[in-house]
Chain A
Amino acid sequence: MKEALSLLCRLPAHPDSRCWYLAWSPGGSLLASCGGDRVVRLWGREGPGWACRAVLGEGHQRTVRKVAWSPCGTYLASASFDATTCIWKKQPDGFECVTTLEGHENEVKSVAWAPSGNLLATCSRDKSVWVWEVDEEEEYECVSVLNSHTQDVKHVVWHPNQELLASASYDDTVKLYHEEEDDWVCCATLEGHESTVWSVAFDGSGERLASCSDDKTVRIWRRYKPGNEEGVACSGTDPTWKCVCNLSGFHTRTIYDVAWCHLTGALATACGDDAIRVFEESSPAAPQQPTFSLAAHVARAHSQDVNCVAWNPKEPGLLASCSDDGEIAFWKYQRPEVC
């Protein structure tokens, strides 16, 4: 089982610091990383390995917690503990910080771009989720401030093709939001996890969501629209999300990140026990009660907590991971024969 996920190379990306998050550019050729050393680094392929192409410094006064690329690949957003979010724009000679989004009361934990490229979401320890809109003049305006969570919000992610936003929080829930009239509202709350939900990821179709938690489980949720043939009850015109699978017993510590490959459907997890695991859905697929099995497990993927796993959007099987040890690792995943 070990051979399914093999190490390609390791980089000391954020020396003497933690590497918190990774984001592949939409074209798959660049990897952005951010860390406790307050900078964002961009990595590109160089021969068989990877080299640092750019360092985006002087944007933040504290740890950069997350980075996110705009769908067009021209902009990069970085969320920081200094309560701001920087927007970097690709220029001929590098990246330049064009705007700083302020407003959160304290540490910004996550940032994400909507598939349309016009909307951005940020979330913070101040328990709120903000939705921002950008116009043609690259002016950002706050469109909504959502106070649905009762605790620190850890992660926000957009649906792959709709303007539907998901957030994960220290309050043990996942919430979903969409626009109604001229404001954004929380349209669903996913309860079930017994502790902090650290991350969420939609599958390629957007019909399912995976969430990972401090309770050492990964849960898969499925969307049921009103009038669905399975007979799942919905209130009004909003769809209901139901938990259809609970992956427990695989992880020995907090699961900090989950990544669902939109090319192959493989599910990767980043765990506090220093390991990376990959799960595959057993076929034939039974949508109402899917089963996932462990396809790969690298016990000492890093020397410390693994904070993030990210599938390359264009190259199937290419996985990047980063850790508290400041390193980035690149992996080649091949779905094993027997799964």
Chain B
Amino acid sequence: MASPFSGVLQLTDLDDFIGPSQECIKPVKVEKNHPGKAAAKIRIEADGSYFQINQDGGAQKLEKAKITLNDCLACSGCITSAESVLITQQSHEELYKMLAFNKTAAPNEQKLVVVSVSPQSRASLAARCKMNVLETAKKLTTFLKSLGVHYVFDTTFSRNFSLLESQREFVKRFRKQSEDKKALPMLASACPGWICYAEKTHGSFIIPYISTAKSPQQVMGSLVKGHFAEQQHLTPDQIYHVTVMPCYDKKLEASRPDFFSQEYQTRDVDCVITTGEVLRLLEQEGISLSDVDPAPLDTMFSSITEEELTSHSGGGSGGYLEHIYKYAAKELFGIQVDTIQYKPLKNKDFQEVTLEKDGVVLLQFALAYGFRNIQNLVQKLKRGKSPYHYVEVMACPSVTAT
């Protein structure tokens, strides 16, 4: 009965049943072609289809009302239970279906299956299977390829992009804070649970503060369906891109219309599966990861070797605060920072970092994990009492963010 989605997302009412006062905010378009005429009659056929009978007796077949998954995600209460729909549309079962489809499809219909694994998921698997991270990555590559996956990448690479972009964005915003009231504080955008909550509950007030950088998952999506597709002489819709992530909220992120290509009618990330689902895949195949032979790792760009799987300092969330802090200190004030001192506040999921020189506070950053801290942060912002320049916001308390 317990939902696998983060507490923040659950409170965003994604899985709720329609109450008498709620309306679907994305009503299906009804073509009103004859305004002013008398109300039409509806006739239901034996097969369940609806026909509108016009005044002159002519019959018009009516379109079945369809609510798509994306409509669900935006709505606060609906006839369909959005969570279960989301989980069935994006799961390891879907991956199996795609791999099975590939086996029987004609060569020009087959899709190139690419899996991008997040470092957090890899670390979880490593801990679970009692191996080191590099070995896990290599064995996972073998396992996935044995199922029919063509390429296995690592999102550490795309995380670099996301961090670099965030750093640059912060410095730009810091420099123009006197002209733009909403430049600071800059709030992290990598956590979809937080974004969904922010959009739904606080909307236009909070959006300007949020960083415009894409999350590592979506940067990977752009890279795979853009650069990599070109390299392989394929169009984006000929690639089936799967990501392995530590949390369910990432499934939501991948389904956002912002990350859907109208031109090719394909998503940047087609399917998100969680670390837990990878374990289920292993179970279903009856394989223990430690028994698998290691395979060389795939690299997206031949000039970079991923043998050493570059890792990042900082929290399990990607180290945004640490990277931006160090970069900003250097770029804005010429100060080299090697170690960062965290000061815990109200609780362990709310911590502060301050850069001081000669008694003057130059930079003040914070980590805010978990719903209660997000709440307090937003309320302070609304009252104009937030002293921070940057806040790394994550929906999950640090205990669960591996």
Contact = CB atoms under 8 A, between A and B. Distances in A.
Q: Do A and B come from the same complex?
A: yes
Given A105-B13, A128-B11, A145 B371 contact: yes
Nearest to B200: A105
Given A106-B13, A145-B11, A150-B1, 19 more contacts: A103-B375, A103-B379, A105-B11, A105-B201, A126-B11, A126-B13, A128-B11, A141-B376, A142-B372, A142-B379, A143-B346, A145-B7, A145-B371, A145-B372, A145-B375, A147-B10, A147-B11, A182-B347, A183-B347
B348 interface: yes
Interface in B1-48: 1, 7, 10-13
Interface hub of B10, B11, B12 (most chain A Cβ within 10 A): B11
Interface hub of A128, A144, A145 (most chain B Cβ within 10 A): A145
Contacts of B13: 105-106, 126
A163 interface: no
A238 interface: no
A268 to B, nearest CB: 32
Instruction: Return the 9 tightest CB-CB contacts between A and B, nearest first.
Output: A182-B347, A142-B375, A142-B372, A145-B371, A141-B376, A103-B375, A145-B372, A142-B376, A144-B372
Interface residues of B, number: 15
A147 B346 contact: no
A102 interface: yes
A105 B228 CA distance: 42
Interface of A: 102-103, 105-106, 126, 128, 141-145, 147, 150, 182-183
Given A126-B13, A182-B347, A147 B379 contact: no
A128 B7 CA distance: 10
B144 to A, nearest CB: 35
A103 B372 CA distance: 10
A50 B307 CA distance: 82
B373 to A, nearest CB: 8
Nearest to A133: B346
Contacts of A182: 346-348
A102 B379 contact: yes
B372 A143 contact: yes
B225 to A, nearest CB: 35
A125 B12 CA distance: 13
Is the contact region of chain A dominated by helix, strand, or loop, or is it mixed? loop
A145 B376 CA distance: 11
B11 A141 contact: no
Contacts of A142: 372, 375-376, 379
A228 to B, nearest CB: 31
Given A105-B13, A105-B201, A126-B13, A147 B347 contact: no
A147 B372 CA distance: 12
Contacts of B7: 145, 147
Interface hub of B1, B12, B348, B376 (most chain A Cβ within 10 A): B376
Interface string B319-352: 0000000000000000000000000001110000
A265 B371 CA distance: 40
Nearest to A103: B375
Nearest to A150: B1
A183 B399 CA distance: 12
A143 B1 CA distance: 26
B346 A141 contact: yes
A126 B348 CA distance: 26
Contacts of B201: 105
A144 B374 CA distance: 11
Nearest to B197: A105
Nearest to A125: B19
Contacts of A106: 13
B139 to A, nearest CB: 37
A150 B17 CA distance: 12
Interface hub of B201, B348, B379 (most chain A Cβ within 10 A): B379
18 contacts: A103-B375, A103-B379, A105-B12, A105-B13, A106-B13, A126-B11, A128-B11, A141-B346, A141-B376, A141-B379, A142-B376, A143-B346, A143-B372, A145-B7, A145-B371, A145-B375, A147-B11, A182-B346
B22 to A, nearest CB: 9
A126 B13 CA distance: 8
B368 to A, nearest CB: 12
Interface in B355-387: 371-372, 375-376, 379
A173 to B, nearest CB: 13
A105 B10 CA distance: 11
Interface hub of A102, A103, A126, A147 (most chain B Cβ within 10 A): A103
A183 B13 CA distance: 23
A257 B89 CA distance: 45
A128 to B, nearest CB: 6
Nearest to B7: A147
A189 to B, nearest CB: 13
Contacts of B10: 147
Interface in B72-104: none
Nearest to B382: A102
A103 B376 CA distance: 9
Contacts of B12: 105
Interface string B178-201: 000000000000000000000001
A5 to B, nearest CB: 37
A126 B375 CA distance: 15
Interface hub of B12, B372, B375 (most chain A Cβ within 10 A): B372
Nearest to A182: B347
A1 B47 CA distance: 66
Contacts of A143: 346, 372
Interface string B212-243: 00000000000000000000000000000000
Nearest to B399: A183
A144 B347 CA distance: 10
B401 to A, nearest CB: 16
A142 B12 CA distance: 17
A82 to B, nearest CB: 13
A128 B1 CA distance: 16
A141 B346 CA distance: 10
Contacts of B371: 145
Contacts of B372: 142-145
Contacts of B11: 105, 126, 128, 145, 147
